[in-house]
Structure 1
Amino acid sequence: MRIVGGRFKGRTLRGPSSMTTRPTSDRLREALFNVLAHAYGDAADGARVLDLFAGTGALGLEALSRGAKLAVFVDEAPEPRGLIRANVETLGVAGITRIFRRDATKLGEAFASDAFDLVFCDPPYGRGLAEKAVAEALAGRWLAPGALVVVEESVEAAFAAPEGFEELERRRYDTSEIIFLRAPGG
Structure 2
Amino acid sequence: MEIVSGKLRGMPLRAPSGLTARPTAVRAREALFASLGTLDGMTVADLFAGTGAIGLEAASRGAASVLFVDSSKSSCNAVKANCAKAESIAPTAVFEIFNAPLPNICKRLAVHPQPDLIFADPPYAESAELLAKLLADPDFNRWSGKALLIWEMAENKGGLQPPPSNWQLETIRNFGGAKFLYLRQK
Structure 2 CA distance for partners of 1:69 and 1:161, relative to 1, 3 Å: farther
How high is the TM-score relative to the length of structure 1?
A: 0.85
Map of 2:78 onto structure 1: 83
SS across alignment from 1:126: helix
Deviation of the 1:154 alpha carbon:
0.9
SS across alignment from 2:66: strand
- Given candidates 170, 173, 182, the residue that maps to 1:180 is 182
Q: Whole-Å Cα distance in 2 between the matches of residues 119 and 139 of structure 1?
A: 11
Equivalent pairs counted in the alignment come to 178
SS across alignment from 1:157: coil
Deviation of the 1:9 alpha carbon:
1.1
The residue type paired with residue 182 of structure 1 is: R
Structure 2 CA distance for partners of 1:108 and 1:4, relative to 1, 3 Å: same
Question: Within the alignment, does 1:52 sit opposite 2:51 as a pair?
Answer: no
8 Å CA contact retained: 2:70, 2:100: yes
The sequence identity of aligned pairs, in percent, is 37
8 Å CA contact retained: 1:131, 1:162: yes
SS across alignment from 2:4: coil
Residues 13-24 of structure 1 aligned to structure 2 (within 5 Å): 13-24=13-24
Gaps of 5+ in 1: none
8 Å CA contact retained: 2:64, 2:93: no
Gaps of 5+ in 2: none
If asked which structure has higher relative contact order (CA below 8 Å, sep 6+), I would say 2
The residue type paired with residue 172 of structure 1 is: N
**Cα-to-partner distance string for 1:148-179 (whole Å, 9 max, x where unaligned):** 11110013433345312111111123542011
SS across alignment from 1:71: strand
Map of 2:63 onto structure 1: 68
- Given candidates 90, 97, 111, the residue that maps to 2:95 is 97
Does 171-180 or 45-54 show the bigger shift? 171-180
The residue type paired with residue 123 of structure 1 is: P
The root-mean-square deviation of aligned C-alpha atoms, in Å, is: 2.1
Question: Within the alignment, does 1:106 sit opposite 2:108 as a pair?
Answer: no
The residue type paired with residue 148 of structure 2 is: L
8 Å CA contact retained: 2:27, 2:175: no
The residue type paired with residue 171 of structure 2 is: E
Structure 2 CA distance for partners of 1:170 and 1:64, relative to 1, 3 Å: same
Q: Whole-Å Cα distance in 2 between the matches of residues 120 and 150 of structure 1?
A: 5
Deviation of the 1:47 alpha carbon:
1.1
Q: Whole-Å Cα distance in 2 between the matches of residues 50 and 174 of structure 1?
A: 22
Q: Whole-Å Cα distance in 2 between the matches of residues 136 and 35 of structure 1?
A: 28
**Cα-to-partner distance string for 1:107-158 (whole Å, 9 max, x where unaligned):** 23235442111000100003122332344376452213x2111110013433
